[in-house]
Amino acid sequence: MQGNKTLTMIKPDAVQKGFTGKILEQITGAGFRITAMKMLHLSIPRAELFYAVHRDRPFYSELVQFMASGPIVAAILEKNNAVADFRALIGPTDPAKASSDSIRARFGSSVQNNAIHGSDSDENAKMECDFFFNQLERF
C-alpha cells in the first residue's frame, strides 16, 4: 500500500524571494494537509547529513552550500499516495523541463535553485520526517 506522508522543504531561494505563502497555497489547494511545519536555517553539517545520499555527486558541495544559505520551511504533508502525487505537483528537478503549472516551473530558477524538495520514496519520507520533527511537533 502507498504511504500517506511526504516531507517537503521550501528551499532558500524560494523563501528568500517571498514565495512561501504562494507555494503553501498551491500545496494545500492540491489536497495535501500540513501536519507539521517549521522555518529553520540548516547548518552546513545538517545540510550534509540531509543530502548524504548525494555525497559522491559532483554537485554535492554546492548543493550543501545552497541549502545552508538561508532559512527554509520544512513540512510534513499528508494525502493518499503522498510521495508520488507530491512529486507530480512539484515537477522534475529541472524547472525548465517542468509543466508550467508545477511548483518548480512557477517558483524555481535553475536545476539547483528549484524552489522545493519532495521525498522520493515512502522509506525516505519517514526518515526525512524524523530528521525535522519529533512526535510533539506533529498534528
**Residues at the contact surface with ligand ATP, assessed by CB under 6 A:** 54, 59, 63, 93, 111-112, 114, 117-118, 120
Output the nine-digit C-alpha cell for 77.
504533508
- Dist CA 57 CA 63 (whole Å): 10
Nearest approach in angstroms of CB 137 to ligand ATP is: 21
Q: Which is nearer to Mg ion, 25 or 65 (CB)?
A: 65
Distances (CA, A) of 90 to 7, 25, 45, 133: 12, 13, 26, 22
Q: Which residues neighbour 74 within 8 Å (Cβ) at sequence distance 6 or greater? A: 7, 8, 9, 37, 38, 40, 132, 133
Q: What is the CA 30 to chain-centroid distance, rounded?
A: 15
For residue 34, report the phi and psi dihedrals to the nearest 5 degrees: -85, 115
106 binds, among ligand ATP, Mg ion, none (CB under 5 to 8 A by kind): none
Q: Which is nearer to ligand ATP, 86 or 133 (CB)?
A: 86
Please confirm, yes or no, whether 41 is among the known catalytic residues. Answer: no
Q: Show contacts with Mg ion in window 77-136 (CB under 5 A).
A: 120
Nearest approach in angstroms of CB 104 to ligand ATP is: 8
Of 11, 104, 106, 117, which is the active-site residue? 117
Q: Which is nearer to ligand ATP, 36 or 90 (CB)?
A: 90
For residue 86, report the phi and psi dihedrals to the nearest 5 degrees: -70, -40
Nearest approach in angstroms of CB 136 to Mg ion is: 27
Residues marked active site are found at: 117
Q: Which residues are near Mg ion by CB under 5 A?
A: 120
